[in-house]
Each structure stands twice: as C-alpha cells, then as structure tokens.
Amino acid sequence: MSAINQHPSRIDRAGELRTNPATLDQLWSQAKIIKVCEGRLLSGTSQLNLLSAGHVADEIASEKFNEGSQYFLGLDNDSRQPFFAWDTTWRAEVSDSEKESGYKTLREIGAELSESESELALHATALANWHRAHPRCPHCGAITRVDLGGASRFCDVDQSHHHPRTDSAVIVLIKDRADRILLGHQPVWPEGRFSTFAGFLEPGETFEQCVAREVFEESNVKVSELRYLGSQPWPFPASIMIAFEAVTDSPESAQGDGEEITDVKWFSRAELKAAAADGSLLLPPSISVARKMIERWLGEKVHGGEAWR
C-alpha cells in the first residue's frame, strides 16, 4: 500500500506576502476565513463554514465576539484564493452547549474534512494554539504582538521575533516475523482501547534512535528494519508525528512498562478484525496517523469502535 499522508499540499503558504501589511489587508478583504473560537472551528456536519471579511466585521460589531487576530494561511494552488484564520473569543461567558452549537473541535470534525480543508484547519488550529500559549517575549517578558500574518510574534521592547515551534514525536507500528502487530493500552484510555507506540524526540537524538528507545521503554522489545511511512501534523497542541514501522525478533518479550503502557497484545489480521467488530477492541480515531498505520498494514478499513480517550 502507499505511504501515509504523502499527498502534495493544496495550499501555497506564500511566505513572501507576509511582510507587507497592505498586501495582507488586501488579501483579507478577498479571503475565505476559518473562524477559530476558543479552540473550536465554525463548521457544519462535515465541512468548515467559511466566512468573508464582511461577515467577520459584522460579528465583531455584534459585540458577541472579540476582535481577535488574523492569520494568513496561504493561497489555493489553482484558484489563488486567499485563506485566513480568524482567532477570536466570546466576549461574555457562554455555556458549553452554546460553544458546541455550530462549533466543533478538530478532533471531532477532522476525519470528515476534505484534504484541502483538513490542511487549512490543521494550520489554523496550530497557529491559534501557539499564539495563545506564547503571549510574552521569552527574552524580556514584555507582551508581544502578532506579526508576519500570524507566522510570528514581535516584541516591540527588545525588537525580537519569535516563531512557532513544533515538537517532533515518533509513532511506531511494531511487527513480528509472523506479520502480527503489537498494540498497547494506556491507563488513561477506556477499557479495550489499544494503539501503536509513540514518544517525543529527545535532544541530541535521531528519529531512529528515538524509535528504538521508546519502543523498548514502553513494550520491552528490541526492533530492527525500521521503515519510514510518512508524517502527520498533530496540533494537540503542537506536534509532528513521524511514522515508522519496525520488526522485532523477540515477540515473547513484549510487556508494558506498567506506567505509560499497562497492557500489550499481539494481533493477526483476523484477530484484529474480529475484535474490532465485536467491540472488544477500540482503535484510535480515523483522523489519526495511528489508525492509518494500522489500516495500511491490514489492507482495508477497520469496521468497529474508536476512541480518543
């Protein structure tokens, strides 16, 4: 089967346009705009509800939403249509039910979006997460402002630029020589929820070294024959998942570490399909790279339950 998430980008991020505020203003006036409100996306059942600049102005004038920030996401490769994100908040305290009415998290709607909408939503969510988490200059502590169309923050006190950082993580599908796969259960997950193994890259470590270390720490097996499968942006809150598969010659050694992983199970294709079908196995959601890795190995879509937590 093909590699994971290797489709070309549908969006030209057009970084050269970010340095001119007048250009960004002109693009904003023509843009289709993703509304991000306190981490939720304005959306319908299976697609984003995109706004115009006039709609945004009306919503601010209604005094229901704060002015927020504008982030330039890029231009459609074919039509050259500009896209922005509007990152805002409710002005007054609203109930959870009101926040959920017409708004969905990326976790909830991500699997239903088209590839181009998914790309835009991932970009918008990642920027919104970063800007909210980094309002101050790490050098002097002063309040910073959005700059370069959302691609950075600028400190007017010490004239320093600050850019988003992405945390690198590996995620690994472990196989044995019988072509079974090993899945693990974390204690924070519901009963029956199993997934692939993952962990963050440490300083001075290669991806390959990280794969070997994380797999051994979490499952007690040593792996070889590492193969890169693909990658997936994961803005929960700010990661990039680097996907590998690897082979172990000691499947009998598999056991959880008792902390991050409390149970491990080997699955053949028939066993995985049967367990998913009868509900005894919950898999990661279809938006996730973990699910895509499992289905790539299986050779077909899995029919059965799924869970985030």
Q: For position 268, which CATH number holds?
A: 3.90.79.10
Dihedral sign of CA atoms 289, 290, 294, 295 in order: negative
Q: Is residue 82 part of a domain?
A: yes
Is 212 within 8 Å of 289 (Cβ atoms)?
Answer: no
CA nearest neighbour of 50 among 65, 70, 36, 64: 36
Q: Are residues 28 and 62 in the same domain?
A: yes
Phi–psi pair at 116, nearest 5 degrees: -70, -40
Q: Are residues 15 and 127 in the same domain?
A: yes
Q: Is residue 4 part of a domain?
A: no
Domain boundary pick from 165, 186, 207: 165
Going by pLDDT thresholds of 50, 70 and 90, the confidence category of residue 199 is very high
Around 106, how many Cα atoms within 13 Å sit in the side-chain half-sphere? 25
Q: Between these two residues, 303 and 209, which has the higher pLDDT value?
A: 209
Q: Are residues 143 and 110 in the same domain?
A: no
Phi–psi pair at 185, nearest 5 degrees: -115, 130
Among the ranges given (17-31, 144-158, 204-218, 294-308), the one the predictor scored with the smallest mean pLDDT: 294-308
- Calculate mean pLDDT across residues 64-93: 97
pLDDT beyond 70 at 30: yes
- Calculate mean pLDDT across residues 88-104: 92
Q: Are residues 115 and 192 in the same domain?
A: no
- Calculate mean pLDDT across residues 151-179: 97
Tokens for 167, please give them: 């945390």
pLDDT at 303: 87
Angle at 146 between CA 34 and CA 107, to 5 degrees: 35
DSSP three-state, residue 291:
helix
Q: Are residues 158 and 172 in the same domain?
A: no
pLDDT at 2: 56
Give 269-278 contacts, CB < 8 A, sequence gap 24+: 269/297, 269/298, 269/299, 272/181, 272/298, 272/302, 273/298, 273/302, 273/303, 275/304, 276/302, 276/303, 276/304, 276/305, 277/303, 277/304, 278/304
pLDDT at 187: 96
- Amino acid residing at 305: G
pTM above 0.75, yes or no: yes
What residues form DSSP beta bridges with 34?
Answer: 85
Q: Is residue 210 part of a domain?
A: yes
Q: Are residues 143 and 220 in the same domain?
A: no
CA–CA dist 158, 12 (Å, integer):
32
pLDDT at 254: 98
Q: Is residue 307 part of a domain?
A: no
Q: Are residues 243 and 129 in the same domain?
A: no
Number of H helices, E strands in the chain: 8, 15
- Calculate mean pLDDT across residues 67-90: 97
Is 219 within 8 Å of 254 (Cβ atoms)?
Answer: yes
Is 56 within 8 Å of 30 (Cβ atoms)?
Answer: no
CA–CA dist 211, 222 (Å, integer):
10
Q: Are residues 237 and 128 in the same domain?
A: no
pLDDT at 45: 82
Q: Are residues 84 and 191 in the same domain?
A: no
Domain count of the fold of the chain: 3
Q: Is residue 69 part of a domain?
A: yes
pLDDT beyond 80 at 309: no
pLDDT beyond 90 at 73: yes
Going by pLDDT thresholds of 50, 70 and 90, the confidence category of residue 25 is very high
pLDDT beyond 90 at 51: yes
Q: Is residue 248 part of a domain?
A: yes
What residues form DSSP beta bridges with 172?
Answer: 197, 244
- Calculate mean pLDDT across residues 33-54: 95
Q: Is residue 27 part of a domain?
A: yes
pLDDT at 84: 98
What residues form DSSP beta bridges with 200?
Answer: 169
pLDDT at 291: 96
pLDDT beyond 90 at 46: no
- Amino acid residing at 191: E
Q: Are residues 187 and 229 in the same domain?
A: yes
Q: Is residue 306 part of a domain?
A: no
pLDDT beyond 60 at 132: yes
What residues form DSSP beta bridges with 77?
Answer: none
- Calculate mean pLDDT across residues 272-296: 95
pLDDT at 6: 66
In which domain, by residue range, is 46 found?
11-133
pLDDT beyond 90 at 124: yes
Q: Are residues 158 and 209 in the same domain?
A: no
Tokens for 276, please give them: 């998913």
Phi–psi pair at 294, nearest 5 degrees: -65, -45
* Strand order, beta sheet including 160-162: 145-147, 152-155, 160-162
Q: Are residues 173 and 267 in the same domain?
A: yes
CA–CA dist 288, 235 (Å, integer):
12
